Structure 1
Amino acid sequence: MSNLTQRTLTAIVAAALAIGAVWLGGWVFAAVMGAVAVAAQVEVYGLLRKAGADPFVPLGLGLGLLTSMRAVIPGSLNLLVLGGLVVLLGVLYRRKATPLLDASATLFGVAYPAAFVGSFVALRLADPPWLVGHDAFWLTTAALFGIWGTDTFAYFAGRAFGRHPLFPRVSPKKTWEGAVGGAVGALVVVAGFKLAVLDAVLTWTDVAAIAFACGVASPFGDLVESHFKRSVDVKDSATWLPGHGGLLDRIDAAVVAMPLVVLYLDLTKGLT
């Protein structure tokens, strides 16, 4: 089986599972996102170990699970603050030569990717007056498809028209032409959702802002993760997803784009 076939099949199965979880919503979706956050965080800690850090893995994963599911866990902020203090105290009782690096690495994994993954839960479980019926499902799905559409359109636009490298130091194959194609793709996808199911929810300004978050932030999320991997001389964050490497390799764009979508909607419309 070719790498492209593996990538395609894995992406189809992952997308189907993701949309199914989004449809179920509630605690089911929050638990799925918590599992995704922890799995990706394990991969981040693996990269950090290769960089010379020794994070508090069990404690960090517990805090990561908590922050990714904070929308459904009362008092989560207080628990996160307490956990952060435990990390700081923990370095005092460790006989390690890198306490600053270890504490920083632990808390970094809580933020990236775990806290960012929590934005998916915050959007899907949001219940403001302007979201009724299945609006939260469709809005979350529109953002996901906007992110996925960016990747797909960028790939084909880059292959067809790519001439000018976007960030050659990190990813020589990514081009400005591909990035523009991805941004156009995000706009087409999100506009399609507005016309089909979200016309009463999104204005055209909202469409442009969400498409910008998906189409512009997504490539840089991918570049950042590529930069992290190159810094420790690894190709993939893990090897358990056929054709994709690790889970972080699959969601690196989404964990940067989705928080921006949520931030925009919360600032302009209110999600709580």
Structure 2
Amino acid sequence: MLKQRVITGLLLAVVVFSAVLLLPSFWFGLAVLAVCLGGAWEWARLCGLESGGQRGLYVTGVAALAGLGAFTAFALDQIWPVVLGVLWWGGVLVVLAFYRPAGREGRILWRRYGLGSAGVLTLVPAFIALVWLHQVQPALVLYLILLTATADSAAYFAGRRFGRHKLAPRISPGKTREGLLGALIAIVPFGLLGAWYFGVIPALWFFFVCLCLVTALVSVAGDLFESVLKREAGAKDSGALLPGHGGILDRIDSLTAAAPVFLMGLLWGVIMAR
């Protein structure tokens, strides 16, 4: 299993880095959209939409809203689809803090309509934010991917070594507060490196590092929210497309949360022009 996981991970890294660095933004956007729609297919199954027709209808709806959001953002120069994503993840933090498993009577409605709507709010703003970042500078996309990977890896190793207190025992018993702290500590030098690499003016270095910390924190929320989705569905993984890694959502859960927040922080701090 470990060998399979490593091989799949290396292949994914090659494909992702090649797509980010070599594809023009239009084709990169189509590739990201394809990944998001694959995630929407898995999301539909986890929401209880068992038939292919139901899942296809859900994916079609996500595709239509993604197209509308992209037109609004790139043709009309409106930022509100990404703002909606940021507000959504702010709300998710509250939901995670008070999460309780749904009762038997309310579970079907919660899964189909509550979590179904959540899929749109998760996937569409992330798609727009990633394409927006790529249009400005592809390196920003790679940096964001590496930022979420750094936070995830640091949380894992710090949690294994020092973990004592559960972060969200009702959602993901394996995550610890010590792991989260380790992730945030690891992000500080990564943020400083990013500020230097992207030529951020010294007066904004502190802001940029704080943005990276907030982005890492929200990426953990993305991971936890997907755990809620799988827990409600009684599933271990979102799918089986990626050997040793599960499904598409299992690989992009942190990134879908991080992308809108990172983009909005760059725009709000005037580190990146619209």
Tell me the TM-score range normalised by the shorter chain: 0.7 to 0.9
Does structure 2 conserve the Cα–Cα contact (< 8 Å) formed by 1:217 and 1:257? yes
Residue type of the alignment partner of 1:226: S
Q: What are structure 2's unaligned runs of at least 5 residues?
A: 82-107
Partner of 1:165: 166
Q: CA deviation at 1:208?
A: 1.5
Report the TM-score when normalising by structure 1: 0.76
Distance (whole Å) between structure 2 residues aligned to residue 271 and residue 71 of structure 1: 17
Report if aligned partners of 2:37, 2:59 keep a CA contact under 8 Å in 1.
no
Deviations 1:115-139 (A, max 9, x none): 322211111113xxxxxxxxx2222
Q: Please give the per-residue CA displacement for 1:44-99, whole angstroms capped at 9, x wherever unaligned.
A: 111112599x563253143255257548864698xx9xxxxxxxxxxxxxxxxx99
User: Where does residue 130 of structure 1 map in the other structure?
Assistant: none
Asked if the contact 1:33/1:69 (under 8 Å) is kept, the reply is no
Q: Secondary structure at the match of 2:240?
A: coil
Q: Which has the higher helix share?
A: 2
Aligned to 1:110: 120
Q: Give the alignment's TM-score, normalised by structure 2.
A: 0.76
Q: How does 1:61-76 map to 2 (within 5 A)?
A: 61-66=62-67, 69-70=70-71, 74=75
Distance 1:248 1:237 in 2: 6
Contact 2:73–2:128 (8 Å) recurs in 1: no
Percent of aligned positions with the same letter in both sequences? 28
Is 1:18 aligned with 2:19? no
User: How far, CA to CA, are the matches of 1:101 and 1:169 in structure 2?
Assistant: 17
The verdict on how the C-alpha distance between 1:22 and 1:213 changes in structure 2, with shifts beyond 3 A counting, is farther
Indicate yes or no: 2:5 matched with 1:7: yes
**Distance in 2 separating the partners of 1:104 and 1:170:** 17
Specify whether residues 104 and 153 from structure 1 end up closer, same or farther in structure 2 by C-alpha distance, changes over 3 A only: closer
- Structure 1 unaligned spans of 5+: 81-97, 127-135
Aligned to 2:263: 262
Q: For residues 102 and 218 of structure 1, what CA distance do their matches in structure 2 show? A: 24
Partner of 2:99: none
Q: For CA contacts below 8 A with separation 6 or more, give which structure has more relative contact order.
A: 2
Q: After superposition, where does 1:1-272 map in structure 2 within 5 Å?
A: 2=1, 4-24=2-22, 25-49=24-48, 56-57=57-58, 59-66=60-67, 69-70=70-71, 74=75, 107-126=117-136, 136-195=137-196, 197-200=197-200, 203-269=204-270, 271-272=273-274
Residue 121 of structure 2 aligns with an amino acid whose one-letter code is: A
Q: C-alpha displacement at 1:243, in angstroms?
A: 1.4
C-alpha separation between the residues in 2 aligned to 1:99 and 1:217? Answer: 26
Superposition RMSD in Å: 3.1
The structure with the larger Rg is 1
CA contact (8 A) 1:187 1:207 kept: no
Distance 2:180 2:268 in 1: 27
> How many corresponding residue pairs?
240
Q: Which amino acid aligns with 1:22?
A: V
**Residues 182 and 156 from structure 1, CA distance in 2 versus in 1: closer, same or farther, beyond 3 angstroms?**
same
